[in-house]
Structure 1
């Protein structure tokens, strides 16, 4: 609960690189996510190359933090692995959230940057990363050591809770 409730969107990073072992832990966390009929339609592109990170900022107006991030994980879905059409989005969303929570637990900063379903961003990212047509990028998760201090936000709202019926 502590890591879930303390998770925050970090958009500024130090220049310290994220160690490979920590990246592996983030990916292990991602792949521990639940998946519809266990199809595990996710694929992950780890980007450390600054030229590629910077090129993504040119096609995505809300990804400017990639200029500072040590690396990013692009969470993708493989439409060819789908048992039930469209569930790759849910599977990959769960995997992305696990990355964000794991980053918090490891002392890293991360933020969710949406790509799908905005088709021009999907296509542009497919081109930059040389993704096959069946691989759809859901989101970009920039990761690094936090270069800013933020307090977690309490989003709990009793008015959003309905018991038994609306």
Structure 2
């Protein structure tokens, strides 16, 4: 798929078919994630891929905006180890770049995704940390629910010229 088609038709997909996401597609998506830029190229990210139906149902219960996880074949939790970063305060930016690549790579594979925010809300982070046994020294940014879409992709023009400022505000 053309990169601009992927960008312009990417949408939050909250309804999925029962079809599984292949191991090859998951690897491609995570390869894309790990191709993201990071501060000093330290790549502090880690990813927890969840396919277990019971865990997906528990994620849906634990996160107030991830109910669709219970009907999806895959969720990816985007994390960072700040000890692996040269500048530990950049982990959110590093992981967000990786997360955007996940969304676009999945779209390129005709998979649907929805980004469910977690950081910095501890009431979203801690239940998932506990459920997936993510160590306390690992930062959790967000989760991405992934699957074959049961709703269409469509292009929406979100361009707003008034949001652009040249040579200053």
**Equivalence map 1:12-91=2 (5 Å):** 12-91=15-94
2:109 is aligned to: 106
User: Hey, what's the Cα distance between the residues in 2 that align with 1:154 and 1:128?
Assistant: 39
Q: Any idea what SS the aligned residue of 1:121 has?
A: helix
Shift of 1:82: 2.2
Shift of 1:162: 0.3
User: Hey, what's the Cα distance between the residues in 2 that align with 1:136 and 1:126?
Assistant: 9
2:5 to 2, 8, 33: 2
RMSD: 0.9
Q: Deviations over 1:37-81 (max 9, x none)?
A: 111010000000011111111211100010111111111111211
The 8 Å contact of residues 59 and 70 in structure 2, kept in 1 or not, is answered as no
User: Hey, what's the Cα distance between the residues in 1 that align with 2:151 and 2:57?
Assistant: 20
The 8 Å contact of residues 9 and 153 in structure 2, kept in 1 or not, is answered as no
TM-score, length basis structure 2: 0.95
2:137 is aligned to: 134
Q: Which runs of 5+ in 1 are unaligned?
A: none
Which 4+ runs in 1 deviate beyond 2 A? Answer: none
User: Hey, what's the Cα distance between the residues in 2 that align with 1:76 and 1:152?
Assistant: 30
User: Hey, what's the Cα distance between the residues in 2 that align with 1:153 and 1:164?
Assistant: 28
Q: Which runs of 5+ in 2 are unaligned?
A: none
User: Hey, what's the Cα distance between the residues in 2 that align with 1:125 and 1:152?
Assistant: 33
Shift of 1:128: 0.6
User: Hey, what's the Cα distance between the residues in 2 that align with 1:9 and 1:36?
Assistant: 27
